[in-house]
A = this chain, B = another copy of it.
Amino acid sequence: MNTTASSPALSTIGAVERETGLLKDTLRVWERRYGFPAPIRDEAGERLYPRDQVDRLRLICRLMDQGWRPGKLLALPADELDALIAADRTRRAPTLLSGELVAALRAHDVEALRRGFQAALLEKGLKGLITDLIAPLNVDIGEAWLRGELGVPDEHFYTEQLQTFLRGALASYPRPGRPPRVLLTTLPEEEHGLGLLMAEVMLSAEGAHCCSLGPRMPVTDIVRAAQTASADVVALSFSAAFPARQALDGLRTLRATLPPSIELWVGGAGAPARLREEPGIRLMRDIGELPDTVSDWRSRH
């Protein structure tokens, strides 16, 4: 087992920030308040975080994503933390994720995954593939990751293969599409582009004209791009971890800046539910609603 020397045994506070996403200030204030993490110091008095503490920080981040509060977790001794992770692991039951698929992911078996996608495509068609297989699969994989059954590389590997598959489908679609012209992107703080890609495939399958800008687009630029591309609709996606408040603010600004004639469609697990009441914004709770929304748009034009 290769527990030595990889991703250096001691990390500076900056490295830990980059690795865990926890700001330097947060790391320092946790240490002051809760006594954890407790990095050692170099000759100059600078913090050096041992790898096991960084690992534990990662566990803590996981549990926080599930609603635990830092105060509780940081006060906990290491073994109780492990117990919590273990408890959580048993609580969540895998639903769709078959043993074969997990095996394919863990072995990084390009072929097996491709075959799986391809088979589902033939059986259900492209839209069915996304709504019935990919969408629930993403949820399951996220949960399996939380349970610790899948590692970082497994998840990245899945994302890559899925992307290649979906983009392959996209590339072979007949172009150009017909209205509505849809501009797809995410706000600057949202870096996940997979939901966006799924939406693009669904829209293309409906024959819509798609123009994706990928993730991380400033509001000003979205507005400008929507105008130069003469888009009918701007579609945004939010992943689960996106802070609801930020989403709401960004969307309101965007809605206020965007010409009223351009519609604003929003989806993804992180799309704030409060959006229902927001005027001029169309919220989709499920990616399966996309085709109907397109038909609806067309009947109105």
Contacts and interface: CB of A to CB of B under 8 A. Distances in A.
Interface string A207-232: 00111111011111111110111000
A95 interface: no
A153 B6 contact: no
Interface stretch (A71-79, A250-258, A278-286): A250-258
Contacts of A219: 5-7
A110 B249 contact: no
Interface string A128-165: 00000000000000000000000111001101100111
A18 interface: yes
A46 interface: no
A65 interface: no
Interface stretch (A28-36, A81-89, A169-177): A169-177
Nearest to A154: B225
Size bin of chain A's contact surface: 35 or more
Given A108-B225, A167-B163, A224-B153, A256 B175 contact: no
A189 interface: yes
A71 to B, nearest CB: 22
Nearest to A218: B7
A106 interface: yes
Contact of A224 (B2, B159, B176, B223): B2
A211 B110 contact: yes
Contacts of A289: none
Contact of A106 (B4, B151, B228, B252): B228
